Structure 1
Amino acid sequence: MAPKKKTKKSTKKIQEQKVVDNDLEAKYRRSVLDVAILQDHIALQSQSIQMVQSDRTDLRSHMRELEQKLEKEREDHRDVFSEQSRRYKTMETELTGKVRSLELEVTQLNEELARCQEDLRREKDERQQMRQEKDTTLAELRHKLYNMETDYEKVLHDTLDSLTSQLSVARQGWEDKSTTLHHSYKGLLSNPVPNAPDI
């Protein structure tokens, strides 16, 4: 039996499904790219914090050396010491503010990364659900097709059986008529016709 031709509706549904699949795939690629960019940004911020903390440690170490020198020359260099202390406090305040700012930025980026990962997980779940629905629909259509093939096969067999029995009945009727005609002609041929001229 020839398969059914696709209707315009099923073609349209397939095209819509392809568009939805392409959109989901594009969203998925964008999400993966966003996650990679955020991870790179976090790595750079972490390196910056480490550099700032290293600089802070170096500055403290440097200030300790300066303080030791100043202790030796306290009487002669009081003005220099107070200036260095003021600078140290200013740098420490600036670096502390910068560290807090970077820590806040890292926290925000981590939250954004978590949101992106949640969006990615949700999109994966939606895609999986759509795939399952598509597989279910395909299975139902295959089942319907199998049932239709079985029904058509049954109708065809029933029709052929009916036709065969009708042909058998007709053949039996023809054979009976043929036998009757044969006997009738045989009887006529075996009995000579009266007053028939001799040849």
Structure 2
Amino acid sequence: MTTGLTLNSLAISRHGAPLVQIDTHVPAGEVLSIMGPSGAGKSTLLAALTGTLADGFTMTGRVILNGRDITDLPTEQRRVGILFQDDLLFPHLSVGENLSFGLCAGGTRLQRKARIIKALNDIGLAGFFDRDPANLSGGQKARVALMRMLLSEPEALLLDEAFSGLDPELREQIRALVFTRARTRNLPVVMVTHDPAEAEAAGGPILKIG
């Protein structure tokens, strides 16, 4: 089985007009950075990989993840995680309940809570289970969003300008955390960014579109 994410002759059109064409392989643990001007189709490419293309867009080609063809699978069966610029935490749930939302099924209620407590310890947020997300700093919210996504046990990670809303020092810290976690878990990563320094920091190939 070939590990990693393969985009096999992927072509996306908008109302019949070609928008994005890509044919590449992202090995496990490597980051592919996608750069290009606004409207070039960067976020649309990520939507195609998650199975959430908007009306008016069509896609041809195949998406293969760890040897599994996920092209026609519904979003929830693809095992593809995504992080956005906004953390998108649920404001009506505590930090622990937010993490529980991402947790894969299985285990007793106590076992699931123990996994969440360990996950909070792993990202330096011990004791935050009952915290209100509104009271977290930007960096803390980013770490919770990352761990919620990782608890869903994805096989690939997509980053849609995920660090652009953070101040420079915090951006570097969270970016290093995300890349380290992705390498540790052997996740292929596709990152959309406007920042050349961010693409350089990823250490992988850079693909310019548009």
TM-score by length of 2: 0.16
TM-score by length of 1: 0.16
Query: Which structure has greater helix proportion?
Result: 1
Please say which structure displays the higher CA radius of gyration: 1
Query: Which structure has greater strand proportion?
Result: 2
